[in-house]
Structure 1
Amino acid sequence: MAAKPRDAVRRGPSMVRISERLTRLQPAATRVVSEKAADLRRQGRDIISLSTGEPDFVSPPAVMEAARRALDAGHTFYTPAAGLLELREEVARYYKTRFALEYEAREVMIGAGGKPLLFEACAALLNPGDEAIIIAPAFVSYVEQVRFCDAKPVIIETDPQTLDFSLGDIRAAITDRTRMIMLNAPNNPSGRIYGDDLVVGLCELAIEHDLTIINDEIYERIIFDGITYRNPLNLCPAARNRMLHINGASKSLAMTGWRIGFAIGPAELIKRMTMLQGHNTSGPSSIAQWAALGGLRNGQEQIDAMAAQYQKRKDLITARLGRMPYLRYIPPQGAFYIFADIRAAYGKSVGDMTITDDVSFCEALLEYAEIAAIPGAAFLQPGFFRMSFATSEDIIETAMTRMHDFLAALA
């Protein structure tokens, strides 16, 4: 019998060859902790999860009604790869109303959430060996997406007392391979909104060195204590051709599961990102796009109501945290997170566990207080941990009582 050709030999499951770039990819810590908390709940543990950055509100009536109308009208077909023209025009109108910035529909792209748009921006801007500046603490996906493009993330550490970055540090980090800077405000995980002088300085560096700023402002509608969030171009209009805004419906409109994000920026960059999306997802769900359009047009009252609830929750959790030992938090100015410094608890013990870093702290917190939180190391800021207060006041009260008892019991 003739031997089979070598390429016809069937490989076993263990022989699948995974690409090197994918084997370098690390899972998102936020998802890992959330899934572990859910698994412990299935085992009967009374776990309170403060790990997920997801509003607990159901999408507003304006969103639901627009989706129903789209279904009744039979809008179940492909949309243009860049997204519905009506939705792109509405996003451009929103940026004009909200920030007094003029954009055309061709400078707007709709994606299946903010993460795919961030990835498409990295793929459009980065070649192998290029560098991207990332300011810590940072959203967990920035580093992995840059690495996946065979580029190098350059991490800028911030002052642990304020979480502000230094323009001098960023200038020193710029090389002839630097292509982009990631800016995220209100920041995930800290809720920090950077001062005008820092933002203007960053824009000026981008202009000087021919860099693109990825301005991730997905939380810009969730702001506290009367603070005003200003888009970077309100502070430095000259940076318009150096700025790509990433926004979306997930946070402000409580539409996480609908997966709708917006990218707004230079037409050529949007064109290239759209081309990539056309070969990847072909664009987001048509019904989800019509739903987001309804939310943008008619959901302002619900957006304001949710923002007011986040303010109450922020006030509640910070009041409780202010009376706890070993913990120092950075007051959030936006988003719905507390980012707290836990280094004072290093060396303390509970049960058979000793706290040596932020990871072991979160492990002990989960085991002995049944609270799930995210270690700061996941956000490039060891010594801290993140809690989400996108949950009810009753749950926050219960979680804070458990946390106080846990901290008070540390030996």
Structure 2
Amino acid sequence: MTAGQAKFFYGWIVVGAAFVGTFFAFGIAYSFGPFFPAIETAFQASRSDVALVSAIAGCLLFSLGAASGPLADRLGPAAVASTGMILIACGLLAASRATELWHVYLAYGLGVGVGTGCIYIPAISAVQRWFVRRRGLASGLAVMGIGAGTLVTPPVANWLIELQGWRGAMTTLALAVAAIGGLAMLALRHSPEKRGLNPDGGPPPDPAAPAGPAATLREALGAGEFWLLGAAGMFISFSLFVPLVHMVPYVLDHGMDEATGAWLLGVIGVSSIAGRFLVGVVADRLGRLKTLIGVYIGLAVMLAFWHFAREVWTLALFAAVFGTLYGGFAPLMPAIVADVFGVRHLGSILGVNYSGAGLGVLLGPTMAGLLFDLTGGYGLAIAVAVAGMLAGAVCLAVTAARRRE
């Protein structure tokens, strides 16, 4: 029996490590909601000022893929991602000792943002290399960590805040990230070929089969599809992070408590886990691009519905459907980029392509906080988020049309 035909394929270890990485990275990044009211009170800050903390982290989360992707291609994903976990832990520890809001910008914004940016692209691009035939399943399992982290971390953070205060909660989370997440990242490996294996754990590919795409970063930058997909990522991030960041203050405005807001974020998280499978089944039948266009349109409809959701049951319905659709985006976009440009230079291509998403995350929550401060409500901010989601759907539709040419 050859190495490439071993009974247990190491690619699934890579998937498991990527799951842990996305669990901690996005769990921490998306758990800022429970900290929002405490930080707003502690520093007597406006909502737009506090929202900027999460916006900075989200911007760096995606935009730093332009640096972490090429670094992972050169140094290996384990070195880059484990460094990211340490940076997240250090950022949380430093933020827990902040005495001014700008300290939180630097500590949480930079620490969590840079740390997560060092994890996502290296981990997800590694998974794409280990699988071809089962890439959709492997990607879905890997990014399930995002949903699981969003499900678990906000309620845990809220519980820790009640138990220890917001500073103690950040310290406890930092220790968990360093101890568990840092070790798990060491299991990531760049590609099966470097371990004497083949993608999917199968036999070597047929040399007579036509070669797939293998674009370099320079070649990808010259393709219209690259910029359209990047714009689509920017628009969805702009709109997606509005409810993720502002859900807790939104429910407080409507007479509910912080625990309800944290629970609703958990509903989004658990629904997104289901969405990775449900949307994946649809994508196998309809195609990835068509399915992703439908996801964008569905998210736009649910954002509009959010504006009219004023009770727990309507907010829970919004969170469940929104989370399911959002869950479909995470595995589809990297797989589409891999389909279009190949996996040889995927870390670099995916990292640069996701830079637009970083800009969207920076602008979306900040815009919502600013419009709230100006108007006293979230109505206009939600309308802008709906428009952003529809703009992303248009970018994907143009991409699909170009692919058919």
Structure (1 or 2) with the greater strand fraction: 1
Indicate the structure whose relative CO is greater, using CA pairs within 8 Å and at least 6 residues apart.
2
Q: Which has the larger radius of gyration?
A: 1
**Which protein is richer in helix relative to its size?**
2
> TM-score, with normalisation over the residues of structure 2?
0.25
The TM-score, its normalising length taken from structure 1, stands at 0.25
